[in-house]
Amino acid sequence: MIHRGLRALSLCFLLHAYMGDSWKCAILPDWLQNLRLYLSMTCALKITNLHKTYKNGFVALRGIDLYVEQGDFFALLGPNGAGKSTAIGIITSLINKSDGRVSVYGYDIDTHFAEAKSCIGVLPQEFNFNVWEPIEEILVNQAGYYGIERRDAYRRAEHRLRQLGLWEKRHEIASNLSGGMKRRMMIARALMHNPKLLILDEPTAGVDIENRRTMWNFLTQLNRQGATIILTTHYLEEVENLCRNVAIIDEGRVIEHTGTKALINRLGSETFVLDLEKKVTEPPCLDCHAVRVIDGSTLEVDIDKGVGISDLFDNLNHMGIKVLSMRNKTNRLEQLFMQLVDDRRQP
Amino acid sequence: MNISEQWIAFKTIVIKEFLRFIRIWKQTVLPPMITTGLYFIIFGNLIGERIGEMEGYRYVDFIAPGLILMTVITQSYANTVASFFQAKFQRHIEELMVSPTPDYIIIFGYAGGGITRGIIVGLAVTTVSMFFAQLGIHDLAVLVSIVVLTATLFSLAGIINGVYAKTFDDISIIPTFILTPLTYLGGIFYSISLLPEFWQNVSLANPILYMINAFRYGFIGITDIGLWVSYGIILAFIAVLYGYAMYLVKTGHGIRS
């Protein structure tokens, strides 16, 4: 019995070594394959030991591991050239990986590429559409590439264009649209096949504040409806407002992979800017707080984590200093991001 | 993707390609009609009347099939090379690459676009030919099959050129320096039986010669080369070019990093 079990195990090992995952599809019964798929379904994206070295020798990814749960709003952060776009390029099949595995909703991108790709909608960083085509046609064609009938594609295009405020522009060629409209059109295009996983590579880059907020609301709504969203951005307030989990990539490695709140809680101290009613000449003496005078009627106060800010206001009140308003000096996540990246780069 | 979804993806690419070249018909359909008209006026009427008959046919009737097929060749090639390169240049090839559309459907789709343009412009040029030449049909099946196969062959060649092209210059080098000379030397304006034996043998290395002769057979029933040899050569070229195009797209040459 043991002998037989060992033989079966070694056969599995050999098959795995030579054929990767494909042998399981050939040998396992349907119900077992479905069970296996169901168990891996809780994970929208799983990246294991992903490596990428370009032909010129540049190493973009040095074995990253990532896990994004279904329904998550996930941020992928990192400085320019950290490897974010390379990772997205590999997930979406625009870049060939050097090593590692990627699975989307349980589908391996190598062995089940069509199923994996059907789950993904992507908004790339740069404009990648035919600028001479009318935008409705761009959307309808995109649906066609996913096997959606033309009549149905026109209905979906109308729905998405109305949702994103572009319906009136449907006959315009794409080059006539403003930068913000082009971004919205690309979001509409990414959603034509109702993907379960939406990957947005800097969706709000170059978009004005009003449009950015509209886009945030739209994305939040999509996420509430069940779509998993992966977002890369350089606007960290966007991450703080939208994302539940975050990973930071630097020099091709994941240096942080945690919840957004947990990450922010790690911040040792915060700097607040206080606008005062009357000018002060010297910084008021406050226990536990470092205070700096900026321009007489503005103070900068460092407050350590765990220290209540109500004491600060009481003390200032006693000194006859009235505070008109208060704000964070920098975005909290931005502060942390810089700390993490700087710590890593210091020798 | 199941078969019906693949069929939809294929149709989408062909429709997109059709709309692309029809939208710019002044650049794609009109110029070949004018050029062919000029060929007929100069070579057919002005010079052709002095030449007399070729293989027992009026010179203008003899050159008409070659001129039509030349248009099919250049247009099907131009469509795929320009479209594929433009898709790479503007990066909208990524729309296809991120989708589940299989590689062979991408090739079939682009080739389908090239064949469509070749046939439509070919029909437009045939209409112009009718003002100058007396075109009878000797064998419709040969005519149709040779046009479709020739357009397929050059559409595939255009895709390969499009994959390799890095600049706009790269998409005009092959049509200018290879395709045009081979077409002119492929027996459009003469029968190879007029050539000395050595040059007859050299001409046999030109694949376009086989296509033009087979096509001429479809119209007037004469050919310098056996029909089945022509079919064999064309099909062999299609198989090789398709295999190579598949290899390039599958490995992502010039498309994926």
Kindly determine whether residue A145 and residue B16, on different chains, have CB atoms separated by under 8 Å.
no
CA A296 to CA A275: how far, in whole Å? 9
pLDDT at B218 over 50: yes
Q: Does B151 have pLDDT greater than 60? A: yes
Among the partner residues A130, A145, A149, nearest to B99 by beta-carbon distance: A145
CB B158 within 8 A of CB B77: yes
Confidence of residue A308 (pLDDT cuts 50, 70, 90): confident
Does the pLDDT at position A100 exceed 70? yes
Nearest to B16 among A92, A122, A141 (CB): A141
Nearest-by-Cβ selection for A145 from B19, B101, B257: B101
Q: How far apart, in whole angstroms, are the C-alpha atoms of residue A138 and residue B20?
A: 12
Q: How confident is the model at residue B144 (pLDDT cuts 50, 70, 90)?
A: very high
Label residue B176 exposed, middle or buried (CB < 10 Å: 0-12, 13-18, 19+).
exposed
What's the whole-number average pLDDT of chain A?
83
Q: Say whether pLDDT at A35 is over 90.
A: no
pLDDT at residue A11, as a whole number? 59
Average pLDDT, integer, range B218-222: 87
Question: Does residue B100 belong to the interface with chain A, where contact is any CB pair within 8 Å?
Answer: yes
Nearest to A117 among B16, B20, B100 (CB): B100
Interface membership of A173 toward B (CB under 8 Å): no
In the structure encoding, which two tokens stand for residue B192, read together? 């190879």
Mutate to test the interface with A, among B99, B108, B110, B255 (most CBs of A within 10 A): B99
Q: Comparing A194-203, A212-221, B6-15, B26-35, which segment has the lowest mean pLDDT?
A: A212-221
Distance from C-alpha of B210 to C-alpha of B227, rounded to nearest angstrom: 8
Q: Which of B6, B7, B8, B83 to mutate to test the interface with A (most CBs of A within 10 A)?
A: B8
Nearest residue on chain B to A55, alpha-carbon basis: B257
The residue-averaged pLDDT of B60-75 equals 91
What is the structure's pLDDT at B152?
97
How far is CA A155 from its chain centroid? 29
Best mutation target, A145, A146, A150, to test chain B (most B CBs within 10 A): A145
Mean pLDDT of the region A65-72: 92
Give the nearest partner residue to B9 out of A132, A133, A144, using CB atoms. Answer: A144
* Maximum Cα–Cα distance across chain B: 61
pLDDT score of B67 more than 60: yes
| B157: pLDDT strictly greater than 90 | yes
Interface of A with B in 100-139 (CB under 8 A): 113-115, 117-118, 120, 122, 124, 126-133, 137-138
d(CA A282, CA A232): 43
Partners of B98 on chain A (C-beta within 8 Å) are 92-94, 117, 120, 122
Per DSSP, the residues of A97-133 read -SEEEEEETTEETTTSHHHHHHHEEEE-SS--S-TTS
Kindly state the tokens that stand for B229: 């040899």
Hey, how many other C-beta atoms are within 10 angstroms of the C-beta on A32?
A: 11
**A14 shares contact with chain B (CB less than 8 Å):** no
Q: Which tens digit of pLDDT belongs to each residue from A177-228?
A: 988 899 999 999 999 999 999 999 988 877 788 888 888 889 999 999 999 9
Confidence of residue A300 (pLDDT cuts 50, 70, 90): confident
* Cβ proximity of B65 and B187 under 8 Å: no
Give the percent of chain A with pLDDT over 70.
Answer: 83
What is d(CA A116, CA A132) in angstroms, rounded to the nearest whole number? Answer: 30
To the nearest whole Å, the CA of B95 is away from the closest chain A CA by 7
CB-count burial class (<10 Å; 0-12, 13-18, 19+) for A122: buried
Judged on CB neighbours under 10 Å (0-12, 13-18, 19+), A314 is exposed
Rounded to 10 deg, the angle between the B59-89 and B207-220 helix axes is 130
Contacts 24+ apart (CB under 8 A), A252-258: A252/A52, A252/A59, A252/A60, A252/A61, A252/A62, A252/A64, A252/A82, A252/A83, A253/A62, A253/A63, A253/A64, A254/A64, A254/A65, A254/A66, A255/A340, A255/A341, A255/A344, A256/A340, A257/A65, A257/A66, A257/A67
- Looking at the partner chain, which of A94, A129, A145 has a beta carbon nearest the beta carbon of B9? A145
Chain A nearest C-alpha distance from B100 (Å): 4
Condensed to tens digits (0 to 9), the pLDDT of residues A232-286 reads 988 877 888 889 999 999 989 998 888 888 877 776 677 788 888 888 878 877 7
Residue bearing the bigger pLDDT, B126 or B58: B126
**B196: which DSSP letter?**
-
pLDDT at B145: 95
With a cut of 60, say whether residue A13 has pLDDT above it: no
Between chains, do B95 and A122 touch, taking CB under 8 Å as contact?
A: no
Name the pLDDT band for A3 (thresholds 50, 70, 90). low
Work out the average pLDDT over B120-133: 93
| Cβ pair B92:A114 closer than 8 A | no
Torsion of CA A97, A103, A107, A109, to 10 degrees: -10
Q: Is B2 an 8 Å CB contact of chain A?
A: yes
Asked if B8's CB is within 8 angstroms of A148's CB, the reply is yes
CA distances from A326 to A298, A303, A306, A341 (A): 10, 13, 18, 28
pLDDT > 90: percent of chain A: 44
Beta carbons within 8 Å of A298's beta carbon, 6+ residues apart: A273, A274, A275, A276
The model's confidence at residue A230, banded by pLDDT at 50, 70 and 90, is very high
Higher local confidence (pLDDT), A23 or B246: B246
A145/B12 Cβ within 8 A: yes
- Looking at residue A18, its pLDDT comes to 43
Whole-angstrom Cα distance, residue A312 to residue A328?
A: 15
**Is-contact A253 A340, C-beta < 8 A?**
no
Residue A145 has pLDDT above 60, yes or no: yes
